Amino acid sequence: MEMDNWRFSKFKQNDVVIYKIPSFEETGLVKHGFTTRLGGISKAPYKSLNLGVNTKDNPDDVFRNYNIACSSLNIEVENVVLSHQVHKDRILAADERHRGNGLFYENRFPEIDALITNKKNVALVTHYADCVPIFILDKKKDVIALAHGGWRGTALKIGAKVIERMIADFQTNPRDCIIGIAPSIGKCCYEVDDYVIDHFKESYENIEGFVENKDKGKYYLDLWGAHEISLVEVGVPYENITVSNMCTQCNNDIFYSYRGENGNTGRMAAILQLI
C-alpha cells in the first residue's frame, strides 16, 4: 500500500517499478532511480529484479536484470561502475576507466562504499537490502555521488564524508547539493542493542534526535534522521534533503529486506548518471 508520506515518485515501465527523487528529476541533470524487486527475471528467493552480483542467484539472470533496469532508465549498461561494499567509509572517484567494473569483469576496487564522479558516461551503482542509499547531486558543479550507509556507515557519517571529499576534490559548495535518502529499513522496524548505539555515541554529539528507547538495552534507531543530522553538520541545507519515508521491511512485497527475509534475498540498486 502506498502511504501518504512517501516522498519519492513512482516510475513504472512494463513490470519494472523504480522510485525517483522529485528534486533530482527537476534539475534535468541526471538519470537516476532506486530499483525495487519488481520487473526482473530472477526466481525465489531473489524474485525478481535482483541486482546483487554477490548473491547466490544465477549470474546470467542478474546480468539480464541489469539490462532490464538500465534500459528502463535509458542508461547504457556498459557505463555501470559497481561498488564493493564492506560497511566502511572508503570512497572511489570513478571515471571512464572504471566503466563495467563488477559487472562485465570482476570487481577491481575492493572495499568501496561510496562512489563519486563528474563524468557524463559513468553510471554509479550501489546495492541494498535494508541499508540506507544516499543520492547526492551538486547542481552547480555537476558532480554526483552515491553512498551506502548501514548502521556502521551511518555511524561513520559516510554521507557527510562524501560531501567533504566533494568539497576537497571538486570545489563543491554543500549549499548547492541536493540529497535523496532512498527506501531502507525504517525506525519502525529497526531495533538495535547497546553495541550499535555505543558506536553512535562515539561519533554523534547528541543521539537523542534519532534514537528512541524501547526496553532496557533495546532501542529503535532512525538511520535516516542520523544521516540528515550529519549532512546538515557539513553544510547541506536541511530543506535540500528528501527522505523517501519508505521502509523496506514494512514493504517487503516491493523491496528486498535482509532483516525481513533472514538474509536470504536479493538486492536493489541505486543508479545515478549525469546527462
Residue ranges binding Zn ion (CB under 5 A): 186, 188-189, 247, 249-250
Smallest gap from residue 146 Cβ to Zn ion (A): 23
User: Within a 10 A sphere around the Cβ of 77, how many other Cβ atoms?
Assistant: 16
Smallest gap from residue 69 Cβ to Zn ion (A): 24
Q: Which is nearer to Zn ion, 8 or 66 (CB)?
A: 8
* Cβ 172 vs Cβ 118: under 8 Å: no
Smallest gap from residue 16 Cβ to Zn ion (A): 24
Q: Which is nearer to Zn ion, 73 or 246 (CB)?
A: 246
Smallest gap from residue 259 Cβ to Zn ion (A): 9
- How far apart are the C-alpha atoms of 22 and 25, rounded to whole Å? 5
Smallest gap from residue 188 Cβ to Zn ion (A): 3
Q: Which is nearer to Zn ion, 66 or 151 (CB)?
A: 151
Q: Which is nearer to Zn ion, 107 or 245 (CB)?
A: 245
Q: Which is nearer to Zn ion, 81 or 250 (CB)?
A: 250
- How far apart are the C-alpha atoms of 24 and 270, rounded to whole Å? 13
